[in-house]
Amino acid sequence: MKPPPLTRPDVALLMGALRDPGGVPSLSVDGCDLLVRTARRAKLLATLHVRLAARGTLTQLPEEVARHFEAANALATYRQRMADQILDSFRAPFRDLGCPVVLLKGTAYIAQGLPVAKGRIFADVDIMVPRAHLEATESRLIGSGWETTLPDPYDQHYYRQWSHELPPLAHPRYPLTLDLHHTLLPVTNRAVIETQRLFADAVRVPGSCWQVLSPVDQVIHACVHLYLDSDCDDRLRDLVDLHELIESHSAVPDFWSKLVERATRNPSLGRPLWYALRHLHAWLDTRVPEDVFRSMAWLAPLPPIRAFMDHAVSKILAGPHVDAQSASVAPAWALALKIRAMRLRMPLHLLAYHAIRKTFRSRK
């Protein structure tokens, strides 16, 4: 049984525009208004601008509509230039660091010149170094003007003891924060990340001092970020990123066989990959070979769990309607996935301790 379609009018409108930008000029004024607001809320307005421009249909839009797309693209371009400047500023503090520095997510997409980077609005820069070099790297960054955004002692303890990254860092010169990782998932997460292999398989970006994850690991990272390290609420852009990433990397020789091999070797990462490929194929028409689904069939959850995930994710992936008064259009589904995410992130005793601390502090 296939996942239920994304039929909510605003979501269906956005998905249709992403699949076929050529149809956007034929929308009514009200249709354009709803599309622009929905795409902006989903952080996909600049992405849609890129697709409209590529199809040559941007000039066919009314001027007052086109201005919204152009403004979103200007913001995305500005944020990407800031990310480039931040990476340039790292050359001095990271010189002779003595360890590989791996760019993650959007920062890596820019460095590689991947299509997924076009129109992507950045909020932070993500880099990863081996855990043994974490303190030295942080010290050099602080010496360069970066400072923590979470001075509370418990927050510092939480990140340094249990998370996959240090507390976010900020710099007065840049509008983006910096996330310094040592692996891809919280160390308390049920899934097992072979961090040493991530560094061993990382690929150097030509003409730079940076490395990026291998194509297979980039896809795996995007999958676990969405299905293991989030509650999927308002994460439609993450799924669109995954579609673009797979479209780019599927041309790499042996990409699909290596992806299946990675999922087979580590089933805890194979399950989120199975969910991602299933939903991408159903909702974004992502081209996934049939033999890939057959090879990964054993990773599928039991039918009740599959039905729950299909319906829950389809209900909350795009977040609430732009005109909704509630913070969630499907609060029951959202709560269920939030509980799932917390349960995956931490063992029960640690989750209880953390919840009690956060509750006590908020009341205080």
Domain boundaries, the chain: 1-77, 90-213, 214-364
Report percent pLDDT > 70 for the chain: 98
Mean pLDDT calculated for residue range 204-210: 89
Distance CA 184, CA 138 (A): 18
- At residue 332's C-alpha, the angle toward residues 329 and 338, to 5°, is 95
Query: For 172-201, how does the pLDDT look when each residue is reduced to its tens digit (9 = 90+)?
Result: 999 999 999 999 999 999 888 999 999 999
- Range from 35-39, 54-58, 92-96, 150-154 carrying the lowest mean pLDDT: 92-96
Contact predicate 169/180, CB 8 Å: yes
User: Above 80 in pLDDT, residue 359?
Assistant: no
C-alpha separations of 351 from 69, 158, 183, 225, 354 in Å: 42, 11, 20, 19, 5
Distance CA 110, CA 108 (A): 5
Pick the CATH number of 90-213 from 2.30.31, 3.30.460, 3.30.310, 2.40.128: 3.30.460
